[in-house]
Structure 1
């Protein structure tokens, strides 16, 4: 079948609501909520965090484009959870009538918006999430330099139900996980930080990890662990699909230093294997890369796929033979430091790999693992005009979601005299009552509208 015949149909989108600066997007979002409330005959509850969009002057960071960093489906397939440049987690609940009239795409408006004081590194919805049961509508978040939070998606505020501390024992500062993963059966979760995988019990709020797994024997050794294990920040975590009656499986972990590790007993056991993937990515396949951003498994648990930042492809390993590279998927346009999400699905021809690129194109590889060597994508389609941060399939496999956008420097006019803008007229302490304020700024018209959007497609 030709690629043109297989292009999915757009059924829902945020349109241009967020294709602008942070401050303007907040104003647009507020108007959408007012309109929705008017149609439903209810009163619109104003979000204090959106009021800053009404100010004549805004902070410099509010002039940045409000791009989508990531998106995830909840396990029951009813809700989308997104993370954006404005440090907000948004919830989009999709209606049951989503696919009734594909000729008229629905306009998506967030059901809840949770504002965080710092950027959010990663999020993870509860594995037993059920929209009809509010006690299960939970998600974990990792705001920078703060405790890990457990929050309710349906709550109108970002106040967490519980928090968990991950603190460096030597400096006593909060460590921010670069990766987070719920472990089966959803009573515990794992986090990845520098040379460390930590295991938390959600029934112990306010406490630290119950178990830790150092990825190297000692950080004090001259060569970081004496050459044993893998060093670096653990940037990717994924559990092998469970086939063992003991309800345990192999944990795959990857680092920004381009190492891959396998750990027994869902990450609580011993080290199965560790190896450096740089030779496979640079020399053998030629797709390049500068650090693992994501790892994932085939449904049978045999194949492990590996995605890197600044890479032109995806590596696929056979875990039955440690470090055996089976194939690599060529043509993935992801030569950027931005995380570019990858998803896998078990289709009619075997494992499928779906990923978006910096060119706004979604590419699909089918029957992954059946061929050796380099493999080009089977089909593709243009979904966005900016890089695609996430490409995620609905649990049913009939709907796919993409989100787009990228960090961009905003051209600004400084509406003050040059004599008043010396380096001395600045202060890092915004809370200081007598600190000098930054000059008021307004965005310039760059002539191009960014594509910061969330789209839902029917396959």
Structure 2
């Protein structure tokens, strides 16, 4: 064997051994440094570079054998917390405090469709509803001009700790105008702004097919046609996706119709809510609202203008439970996050009812809310299931504590009022039509305002027909209420609600760890 080659191999082996020793020493040094960074002198965890606030400290203290999640808790209950004010962050101001015709003239360049303002109904351009996108990055609104406007959320508002002293202007650069009254609209439940394929929403329009719109380009993706026995297009009064977004559920008179999202057109599954036209069985009337149980129990609720709420099984669409003794037409139903309770709101009613759908099928308690109007007033529940917020007829935003069960309060009007923990008085100068919580950033809430002004449409014979929506049946009940209201406030506002984040944990099963 060549002695030179042997010496060379020995030298390489020695170099490799020295290199391994250096790597081992660096690893030990790195481990000691990390330990020193995460353990202070009192042997307590402290924030590292990736977790520099209290929330991340709490997360670091959780046992690695447990799964952790975070919830935002509102600071509204105690007297000290009530001194913290809800902060107005952004608003559309007085931009929409005008008629439909003037609004369309000012924003013609925003619409994807050509609009001739001289041919449209010239009524008060009030907001009807507003809904957060599932990823919480934008807000979609509907107004009396039949336009759906998309408002992108400024990034600085997504920071829980950010503070600002100025009220920014809430502006839109995107709008879609439908040809008739927009009854309802719904976001695709898996919508994510980082994935353009999921950025879409569906609309229900009077006497038109349902339209699925691309939220990035404004283009029409698909249409789903509801056709009655007379071969006429029917605009459903309510439209909703199921939890996984695979099907579209819509409701109209005595019918729930289901579409496969992958099959646009007329193919659908019709689910009659009554077995025969002349019968007392089933759920009669126009299906006005839908909501799916968020606990994936396979249930969904349907409210009717015939004063009933039905609970259906999603697997076979059979009626499981029927809630009655409701005085007026139901305008909204919403499950609690755990699926054990159902909240409902009705027309010309001053309360929101909480139903026990697991045991007694009776009203547990009622939350007071000024609402002597046929116009929809939309409420929402925070992700923790502890707080319900709603608009009110006097322009305020109400916060109700729903964390405690009925056994802690007597069934009296005074005790129900005790659940009201905060009110933003005069949030709007007109009726607050909706109050909704951001699903991803719950410290942000949005509110919209406005109502029909019959004086603005005086002298126009078509005004009542063009401005009416699915609330037509009871318009006579609140004509006087609207005529006496002279203030005009058609605005959309964003608020920050004081609170803090709390970490919760639950044990991870052995199979899940493996």
Range into which the TM-score falls when normalised by the shorter chain: 0.7 to 0.9
- Runs of 5+ consecutive residues of structure 1 not aligned to the other structure: 31-44, 279-288, 415-420, 429-445
Task: Tell me the secondary structure at the aligned position of residue 149 of structure 1.
Answer: strand
- Cα distance change of structure 1 residues 7 and 291 upon mapping to structure 2, 3 Å threshold: farther
Within the candidate set 230, 241, 251, 1:192 is matched to 251
Within the candidate set 396, 413, 423, 1:380 is matched to 423
Give the aligned partner of residue 104 of structure 1: 166
Equivalent-residue separation in structure 2 for 1:409 and 1:397 (angstroms): 36
Deviations 1:45-90 (CA, angstroms, capped at 9, x unpaired): 665868756xxxx45722x111110000000000100000001000
Equivalent-residue separation in structure 2 for 1:213 and 1:413 (angstroms): 42
| 8 Å Cα contact 2:127/2:449 also seen in 1 | yes
| 8 Å Cα contact 2:111/2:174 also seen in 1 | no
Give the aligned partner of residue 438 of structure 1: none
| 8 Å Cα contact 1:343/1:355 also seen in 2 | yes
Within the candidate set 85, 91, 95, 2:150 is matched to 91
Equivalent-residue separation in structure 2 for 1:28 and 1:181 (angstroms): 32
Q: Are 2:451 and 1:406 aligned? A: yes
Instruction: Please show how residues 164-243 of structure 1 align to structure 2 within 5 Å.
Output: 164-169=224-229, 171-209=230-268, 211-219=269-277, 221=278, 225=279, 227-243=280-296
The structure with more helix, counted as a fraction of residues: 2
Task: Tell me the secondary structure at the aligned position of residue 101 of structure 2.
Answer: helix
The structure with more strand, counted as a fraction of residues: 1
How many residues align structurally?
385
Equivalent-residue separation in structure 1 for 2:331 and 2:220 (angstroms): 27
Equivalent-residue separation in structure 2 for 1:47 and 1:236 (angstroms): 28
Task: Tell me the secondary structure at the aligned position of residue 333 of structure 2.
Answer: strand
Q: Taking structure 1 as the reference length, what is the TM-score of the superposition? A: 0.78
Q: Are 2:371 and 1:334 aligned? A: yes
Bigger-Rg structure (1/2): 2
Equivalent-residue separation in structure 2 for 1:361 and 1:450 (angstroms): 15
Equivalent-residue separation in structure 2 for 1:353 and 1:187 (angstroms): 28
Deviations 1:206-265 (CA, angstroms, capped at 9, x unpaired): 2231x222111011x2xxx2x211100011111111345xxxx21111100111111113
Equivalent-residue separation in structure 2 for 1:10 and 1:122 (angstroms): 27
Within the candidate set 202, 209, 219, 1:147 is matched to 209
Equivalent-residue separation in structure 2 for 1:411 and 1:270 (angstroms): 46
Q: Are 2:435 and 1:391 aligned? A: yes
- Cα distance change of structure 1 residues 149 and 46 upon mapping to structure 2, 3 Å threshold: closer
Within the candidate set 90, 94, 99, 1:12 is matched to 90
Give the aligned partner of residue 258 of structure 1: 307
Residue 320 (structure 1) shift: 1.1
Residue 173 (structure 1) shift: 1.1
Give the aligned partner of residue 223 of structure 2: 163
Within the candidate set 319, 328, 334, 2:357 is matched to 319
Q: Are 2:293 and 1:293 aligned? A: no
Residue 393 (structure 1) shift: 0.3
Give the aligned partner of residue 495 of structure 2: 457
- Runs of 5+ consecutive residues of structure 2 not aligned to the other structure: 1-77, 466-483, 498-514
Equivalent-residue separation in structure 2 for 1:202 and 1:453 (angstroms): 33
| 8 Å Cα contact 2:287/2:303 also seen in 1 | yes
Equivalent-residue separation in structure 2 for 1:346 and 1:76 (angstroms): 13
Equivalent-residue separation in structure 1 for 2:446 and 2:125 (angstroms): 18
| 8 Å Cα contact 1:357/1:387 also seen in 2 | yes
**Aligned residues: CA RMSD:** 2.5
Task: Tell me the secondary structure at the aligned position of residue 305 of structure 1.
Answer: strand
Give the aligned partner of residue 343 of structure 1: 380
- Cα distance change of structure 1 residues 394 and 302 upon mapping to structure 2, 3 Å threshold: same
Residue 270 (structure 1) shift: 2.2
Instruction: Please show how residues 43-82 of structure 1 align to structure 2 within 5 Å.
Output: 47=111, 52=116, 58-59=118-119, 61-62=121-122, 64-82=123-141
Q: Taking structure 2 as the reference length, what is the TM-score of the superposition? A: 0.70
Equivalent-residue separation in structure 2 for 1:243 and 1:448 (angstroms): 46
Residue 102 (structure 1) shift: 2.5
Equivalent-residue separation in structure 2 for 1:448 and 1:232 (angstroms): 34
- Cα distance change of structure 1 residues 290 and 450 upon mapping to structure 2, 3 Å threshold: same
Deviations 1:146-196 (CA, angstroms, capped at 9, x unpaired): 00111112224xx42100111112x11112211111013111110111111
Instruction: Please show how residues 112-123 of structure 1 align to structure 2 within 5 Å.
Output: 112-123=174-185
Residue 322 (structure 1) shift: 4.5
